[in-house]
């Protein structure tokens, strides 16, 4: 039995997430401080209350929420937890009347986006009309802010060298 709930992560959980996410090329990374201070996190726990996965999302504008990092511990993958965390994070943001934005290079997550009817595109230059008309500046300034983070810059550089592969990221938006 697993439980998904919205709550803050503890410092040991945040440390575990940072450590584990360093090992995946699919998430550029969020710092310990970002995990500790984030307001919107869905957490999956096993029957003993032990942490097994999380989905971090945050509002980057009064109308927009970004599903930023989805992670399930290796031994608990393939049991539906990733999808539940993703679905519940989307539901939570939509309930708060936020449009959704996410980016992924992971085919499992790209399928989750498609199953939830996200409109997908291949770069910010191809933002769908529905978002582009009113929010182009919001997306570009969010992206600049996201990248202008010392921890992330370090991780992007490290992962680009380490994994070498040029991952193809898929962008998605869903209006509430």
Ligand X SMILES: CC(C)(COP(=O)(O)OP(=O)(O)OC[C@H]1O[C@@H](n2cnc3c(N)ncnc32)[C@H](O)[C@@H]1OP(=O)(O)O)[C@@H](O)C(=O)NCCC(=O)NCCS
The answer to whether 109 contacts ligand X (rule: CB under 6 A) is yes
- Contact window for ligand X (CB under 6 A) among 2-10, 67-75, 135-143, 156-164: 67-75
Residues 6+ apart with CB under 8 A from 128: 119, 121, 173
- As a whole number of angstroms, the longest Cα–Cα distance in the chain is 48
When asked if residue 72 is in the footprint of ligand X (CB under 6 A), the reply is yes
Kindly give, in sequence order, each residue whose CB lies less than 8 Å from that of residue 154, ignoring residues fewer than 6 positions away.
Answer: none
Single residue of 54, 70, 90, 113 touching ligand X by CB under 6 A: 70
**Residue ranges with strand state E in 7-157:** 40-45, 51-61, 64-72, 99-104, 119-121
- State which of residues 2, 15, 24, 149 lies at the interface with ligand X (CB under 6 A): 24
Per the listing, tokens 């992670």 go with 71
Q: Toward ligand X, which CB reaches closer, 24 or 160? A: 24
CB nearer to ligand X: give 77 or 142: 77
Kindly tell me which residue out of 32, 79, 119, 138 binds ligand X, with binding defined by CB under 6 A: 79
- Contacting residue, 57, 65, 99, 104, with ligand X by CB under 6 A: 104
């Amino acid at each position: 039995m697993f439980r998904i709930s919205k709550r803050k992560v503890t410092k040991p959980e945040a440390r575990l997430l940072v450590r584990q996410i360093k090992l995946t090329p699919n998430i550029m990374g969020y710092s310990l401080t970002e995990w500790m201070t984030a307001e919107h996190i869905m957490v999956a726990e096993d029957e003993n209350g032990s942490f097994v996965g999380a989905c971090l999302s945050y509002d980057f504008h009064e109308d927009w929420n970004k599903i930023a990092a989805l992670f399930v511990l290796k031994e608990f993958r393939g049991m539906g937890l990733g999808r539940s965390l993703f679905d519940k994070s989307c539901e939570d943001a939509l309930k708060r009347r936020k449009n959704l934005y996410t980016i992924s290079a992971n085919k499992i997550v790209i399928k989750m986006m498609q199953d939830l009817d996200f409109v997908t595109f291949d770069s910010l230059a191809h933002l769908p009309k529905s978002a582009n008309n009113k929010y182009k500046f919001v997306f570009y300034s969010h992206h600049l802010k996201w990248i202008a983070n010392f921890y992330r810059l370090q991780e992007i550089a490290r992962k680009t060298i380490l994994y070498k592969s040029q991952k193809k990221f898929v962008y998605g938006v869903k209006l509430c």
